[in-house]
Amino acid sequence: MKIYFIGAGPGDPELITLKGLNILKQADIVIWAGSLVNPEILTYCRDEVETFDSAGLNYDEVIAIYKKNSEFDGIIARIHTGDPSIYGAIQEQIDFCRKEKIDWEVIPGVSSFQAAAAVLGQELTLPQVSQTVILSRAAGRTPVPEKESIEKLAALKASLILFLSVSQIEKLTEKLAESYGADAPCAVVYRASWPDQKIVRGRLNDIAHRVKAEGITKQALIVVGEVLRAQDEPLFYEKSKLYDPDFSHGCRDAVDEAAGSKTDSKGSRGIS
């Protein structure tokens, strides 16, 4: 038996990777998180596949399926939402496989934060604005290390994306405003890439009210940072050096219009 931990993507069934799709088509057993994963994912499976919805299972019950089939010469596809490396609870399952010498592999997926950036039409790393993206969550039933408190993360003023936290948005925006400023741009994306997706834009001083009006209490990401100014102020940032004609790198020479030549990355010139 081999267990594949597969990221199914954020919701749109077409956002599963080709590798994940190919494994799913071959799988003999599929364990999927029915509370989060789009059920259309199962249409990729063979008709005779055995499926288990892990939404109603605890860790021991999932492990029991692995143990029962440990001598089975086949494939178990363990489907997680988004990318399983982010809040996917796969480490304990991997540790079990290592202990029991069960063959396993992780197939990454598209995370909901990537889908949220896509539907916002937003690059998260803009030159001279932010080159850092922080993925985190507010403390709730699952605690957060004190060194990663919202106040300490916000102090960096980087592009910040909070998972599993929208139910606390009123308290969070007050804390975030202390560092980002009350008028800092903010967005909440509910079920990014799903048919019922919602996007709520605002500022830290009004986004909680807007989110409440939309009835959003879960399955949403909070996005905060100056990069979001691009929605109202196109090109307020410096353009990337990657395609700057005056910038040389290993694949392209800079253009010196005055000299009518190109300058390579070492500063030497050639005839254009």
Token code pair at residue 110: 């598209």
Token code pair at residue 104: 């396993």
Token code pair at residue 4: 């594949």
Buried b (16+ CB within 10 A) or exposed e, 89-98: ebeebbebbe
Average pLDDT over residues 6-26: 98
DSSP states of 89-128: --HHHHHHHHHHT-EEEEE----HHHHHHHHHT--S-BTT
Query: In this predicted structure, what is the pLDDT of residue 131?
Result: 96
CA dihedral in degrees (121, 127, 130, 133; nearest 10)? Answer: 60
Distance in angstroms (rounded) separating the CA atoms of residues 161 and 133: 8
Statement: residue 161 has pLDDT above 70: yes
SS3 of 172, please? helix
**pTM of the complete model:** 0.88
Token code pair at residue 58: 């605890």
Query: In this predicted structure, what is the pLDDT of residue 271?
Result: 42
DSSP states of 141-153: SS---GGG-HHHH
Q: Which whole-number Å values give the CA distances from 251 to 235, 247, 248, 255, 267, in the listed order? A: 25, 11, 8, 13, 14
State what percent of residues in the chain have pLDDT above 70. Answer: 89
Query: In this predicted structure, what is the pLDDT of residue 264?
Result: 58
Q: Are 260 and 269 in contact (CB under 8 A)?
A: no
Query: In this predicted structure, what is the pLDDT of residue 129?
Result: 95
Statement: residue 66 has pLDDT above 50: yes
* Mean pLDDT computed over every residue of the chain: 92
11 φ/ψ sector (left φ>0, alpha ψ -120 to 50, else beta): left
Question: H or E element: which one contains 50?
Answer: strand 50-53
Statement: residue 244 has pLDDT above 80: no
| Residue whose pair of structure tokens reads 């990355």 in the numeric block | 265
